Structure 1
Amino acid sequence: MKIYKVLYVALCIVCETETPVQDRISWNLLKKPAVFTRDVQLECTISTEFPCCNEFTRKWSRGRRYDLVVMNGVSLNTAKYKENLNISANTSTLTIYKFSEYDVDIPYECSYGFDSASHILELTEENFEYHPEEMLPYNLTLEGHQVVLNITLMKVYPAPICTAMDGDIDVTDNLIIKNDENGLFLRSNLRFNYTINYVCHTTVEISCRIGQTKFAIVNYSRPCIKEKYDSTVSLVTVRVMIIVCSIVIIFYITVLLRMNYRLHVKRNKYLSTKTDGSNQESKTDDRNNDDTNVTPQSVEMQRMSIVQSHEGMDLEPAVKHNVQHSQPLLQSVAKEGNIDTRVVTNKSRKKKKRLKTIQSV
C-alpha cells in the first residue's frame, strides 16, 4: 500500500509539470441563478486521470480562514452543509441549506489529496437572485375611476424591471420605481397612479422581472364599475339638487315673510292714521252739523212756535228771553259760518216789531 502511495506522489509531481492544477480539480455554482433563502449547490469536479474518489481525502472549506465544513462526506454542521459524491462523474457536490447573505462573497475551497481549487463565490446579477418575501400579487385600491398602488419590496436583487398593463394598453408611464440600497440587496418602492376608463372586465397587471424570474405584482380583474359609478354620481347629484332646492325654498319663504311683515306694518300704520283722521273728521262734522243746524230760520221757527204756543199770554218776557238767549247763538253761528250778524240783527228786530204788533192786536 505504501508503494502505491509513493508511486502516486511521484506521478503527481511529474503530472504537475505537465497539467495545471485547475485542470485537475475545479468547482463552480451548479445551478444559475441561485436564489437566496433556498438551497444552493457547489459542484467540485475531479480529473478522470486519477482514481476517484476514495483514494485520498476530500474536503470542503469556506471563509477567509478556510474553515472545514465537510470531510469525506462527514458534515460538521448537518443543518447547513451536506456532501453528495458521484463516483461515476468524478464529482463532489456541496449543498448549502437556506443560502443567505452570509454565504456569499466569501471563498470556498474543494480539495482532493494534494489538489485543491479555491475562489470567491461572488454576488452577481447573473448568478444570484433575491426574490420578494411579501405576499404577491397585491390588491389595487380603487377610488372611483382612480387606481392607486403604493408598495415596498423590502429586499430584492437585482433591481426589478417592471411594466404595467391595462388590458392590451401599456400604462407603464404611470408606474414609478425607486430603488435604495439595503445591505447587499435593494429596497424597491413601486407607486402606480392610473385613471381607468369605463370598459368592463379588463385586467390591470403589474409585473416585475427580478433577474431572470418574472413576478406578478398586481393582477387585478376590474369589474364593471360604470353603473356603480353612475349611480353614485346620480345619487350625489340628487342630493345636491335637494339641498339647492331646499335653500331656494327657504330663501323665498323668508323673503315672503319679510314682505308680508312689512305690508302688515304699513297697513297698521295706514289704518291707525285713517282712524285718527276719521275721528277728527267726525268731530269736525259734528261741530259743523251742530253749527249748521242752528240757523236763523231754525231760530225763527223756534220763536214762532213759542209765540203760537203762548197766544193770549204775555209773551213779551218770553220773547225777550228767547231773543236774549238766541243772540249769542246767532253771533257764534255768524262767526263760524261767516254769517253777517247785522242781517241777523235786522231780522230779529223785524220779528220783534211783528211780535209787538201781534201782541197789540
Structure 2
Amino acid sequence: MHLCSFTVSEVEWYIESKYIINGKDTLLNCNGTSCLSRGGKKWIGGRNYELLSFNNVSTNSTKYEITVDTTLNYGLKIKNMSFDDFNSIYTCVCGLQQYSRMLDTSYVVYIYPPYIATKTINKEFLKVEMDVYPLQKCHLRFTTPSRSNIIVLNTVRLKEIKKGRSEIYKVAISHSLLQEQIIDCKGYVDVFCEVGPLNYTIINRHHLHGLDNCKDQIVVNPYAKCNNSLQTGHKQETCNNDWVCNSCGKSGHKAKECLQPMDDPTADQDQNGDLNGPDSVPEAANVDNA
C-alpha cells in the first residue's frame, strides 16, 4: 500500500485569482506534487460539505470539474459560482493527508456584478437602482464635440439582501442633468462603475439627442446655410430673420417675387456687402426659397 510520505502542511489548496465573480467558474488548485500516484485523491466541500470528487472523477459533472496538470496538482473547478458555493469549507485529500479551508472574503473578493433593477434618463435627471456587491464607485461621462468630462456619482445604499450565507446591496445612483447645462446635443453620456477591481458599464453611449431637453434642438452643420436668411450656422426652422432673396440678395422678399433684373450687377450684393461670404463655406440647397 502506497502512502504520501509528507506532513499535512505539504498538502494545500489555493486559488490563483484575487476575486470570484458570481455566475462565473472558479478554480481551486490542490498541491499534489509530493503525493504518490496511487494515493486516493478527493475533494470534499460545498454548502453541505459532501464528496465532490474521487480520484479525479466528479460526483456531479454539471457543477464540478476536476483538472489535472503535469505536476500532479489537481484542481476543483466550481461552475457557475453562487453564494451557496461561497463561505463554505473545501477540503482536498491526498492519501492520508488533507487540507481544509473556508472559501471566504478573508483572502478573496466575491463580486456580484451590477444587476440593474430600474433605469431612468429624462430631461431632469439620471437614476439607476441596482443590486451589487461590494459597494461600487460610479462615474458619469459626458462626451460632446465641445467638451468631455467625468463626474463622480453619489451612491446610496438602500438595503441589504440576504444571499445564501452572504449578502448583497441594493443601491441607487443619481445625477441632475439640468445642472450640466447641456447645450451641444451632438454627443452621448456613459455611466460606468468600479466593483472591486473590475469596471462595469451601466449606461453605454446614451445619445444626448435622446434626452427630453435635446429633442427640440435641431443639430446643425455649422457650415449649413439657412434657406430663409441665407446665413450660415442655423436652419430655416429656427430662423427669426427676414426672408432674403436668393436672386438679388436683398431682404424682404423671395426670389419668385424679385423685380431685380437677373443681369444687374447688384444682384450679387445685398445692402450689407458680399452675400455669399468666404468661398470655403459650402452652400446648402435652397429648396424652400423659390
**Shared topology, TM-score over 0.5?**
yes
Rate the CA distance shift 1:217–1:125 in 2: closer, same or farther, 3 A.
farther
Counterpart of 1:44? 30
Counterpart of 1:149? 126
The structure in which a higher percent of residues are helix is 1
For 1:217 and 1:93, the matched residues in 2 are separated by 34
Q: 2:112 aligns with which of 130, 136, 161?
A: 130
Counterpart of 1:78? 61
Counterpart of 1:158? 134
Deviation of 1:26 (Å): 0.8
Deviation of 1:58 (Å): 0.4
Counterpart of 2:72? 90
- The alignment partner of 2:216 has SS state of helix
Q: 2:81 aligns with which of 99, 110, 114?
A: 99
Rate the CA distance shift 1:124–1:151 in 2: closer, same or farther, 3 A.
farther
Counterpart of 1:206? 191
For 2:25 and 2:11, the matched residues in 1 are separated by 23
Q: 2:156 aligns with which of 174, 178, 181?
A: 178
Deviation of 1:197 (Å): 2.3
Is the Cα–Cα contact under 8 Å of residues 18 and 107 in structure 2 kept in the other structure? no
For 1:209 and 1:65, the matched residues in 2 are separated by 33
Q: 2:40 aligns with which of 45, 57, 66?
A: 57
Q: CA RMSD in A?
A: 2.9
1:182 counterpart letter in structure 2: I
Superimposed CA distance per residue, residues 210-257 of structure 1 (whole angstroms, 9 cap, x where no aligned partner): 111111222322139668259xxxx9xxxxxxxxxxxxxxxxxxxxxx
For 2:209 and 2:105, the matched residues in 1 are separated by 44
Superimposed CA distance per residue, residues 102-122 of structure 1 (whole angstroms, 9 cap, x where no aligned partner): 111111000100111101000
Rate the CA distance shift 1:76–1:163 in 2: closer, same or farther, 3 A.
same
2:160 counterpart letter in structure 1: E
- The alignment partner of 1:190 has SS state of strand
In the superposition, the TM-score normalised over structure 2's length comes to: 0.62
Deviation of 1:30 (Å): 3.4
Counterpart of 2:173? 190
- The alignment partner of 1:223 has SS state of helix
2:174 counterpart letter in structure 1: R
Deviation of 1:124 (Å): 5.3
For 2:187 and 2:107, the matched residues in 1 are separated by 35
Higher relative contact order (CA 8 A, sep 6+): 2
Deviation of 1:187 (Å): 1.3
> Is 2:100 the counterpart of 1:118?
yes
Is the Cα–Cα contact under 8 Å of residues 117 and 130 in structure 2 kept in the other structure? no
For 1:127 and 1:186, the matched residues in 2 are separated by 15
For 1:160 and 1:166, the matched residues in 2 are separated by 20
- The alignment partner of 2:84 has SS state of helix
Rate the CA distance shift 1:95–1:226 in 2: closer, same or farther, 3 A.
closer
Is the Cα–Cα contact under 8 Å of residues 20 and 108 in structure 2 kept in the other structure? no
For 2:198 and 2:116, the matched residues in 1 are separated by 15
In structure 2, runs of 5+ residues without a counterpart are 219-236, 238-290
For 2:107 and 2:97, the matched residues in 1 are separated by 30
For 2:116 and 2:21, the matched residues in 1 are separated by 15
Task: Report sequence identity in percent.
Answer: 20
Deviation of 1:98 (Å): 1.2
Rate the CA distance shift 1:65–1:160 in 2: closer, same or farther, 3 A.
closer
For 1:150 and 1:126, the matched residues in 2 are separated by 31
